[in-house]
Amino acid sequence: MLPEPVPIIRRRENLVFSNRFGELYDDEVEGPSGDRGNYLRWRWGARGVVVAARSSKGTLFVPAYRYPPGVVSLELPRGGWDVGESLEEAACRELLEESGYVGGQVTERGQIYPDTGLIENAVTVAEVLIAEPDLGVGEQRAEVMESVAEAVWLSDDDVLRKVANGELRCSISIAAFTMCRLAH
């Protein structure tokens, strides 16, 4: 059992930026000892989904350019969950948009927080089975602002090796992959 948290109290919510993707706050807070300070907080504008696509070939990862750190990152497909979509629709749409693969059976594996020190929202982890991974990629092309190369299938051992040697550093992908593997 985790210890009872010592609360940090939000004294004032200060919205400093907003767009269609979310809102950034610079909240005025008070700590347990009465100290005052500020805490940055991002609230996504939509629910999120991260997709662990699995097949007989392993788990599907996409090389994506990520602007904030300025690196190409090997990641599971992920993105926003549109209003009115089911989990199945959101997971299969994100998979198609980012990899070109068409998803099959979808299983919800739970929720994770991508960065508990900054991001307010949890994202849903969806495991998607792809029965015939050799059929190739459909007509859908990967997103040009993120995807930089074709998706790759990695065995569980390949994923663990890439985590251990620093080639796979995306925390949300590592957490979602782990959640799905432990479910088996």
pLDDT for the residue numbered 177: 98
| CA-wise closest residue to 50 among 183, 168, 170, 184 | 170
Domain boundaries, the chain: 9-44, 47-182
DSSP state for residue 88 in the 8-state scheme = H
pLDDT for the residue numbered 127: 98
Can you tell me the distance from the alpha carbon of 169 to that of 162, in angstroms, rounded to the nearest whole number?
Answer: 8
SS3 call for 29: strand
Q: How much is the pTM?
A: 0.89
pLDDT for the residue numbered 137: 60
Residues of the chain with pLDDT under 50: none
| CA-wise closest residue to 74 among 168, 161, 149 | 168
Tokens of 121: 């929202």
pLDDT for the residue numbered 143: 61
| CA-wise closest residue to 129 among 57, 182, 53, 49 | 53
Write the class of the CATH domain 47-182: alpha beta
pLDDT for the residue numbered 134: 73
DSSP state for residue 133 in the 8-state scheme = G
Residue indicated by tokens 């065995």: 155
Can you tell me the distance from the alpha carbon of 126 to that of 59, in angstroms, rounded to the nearest whole number?
Answer: 12
SS3 call for 139: coil
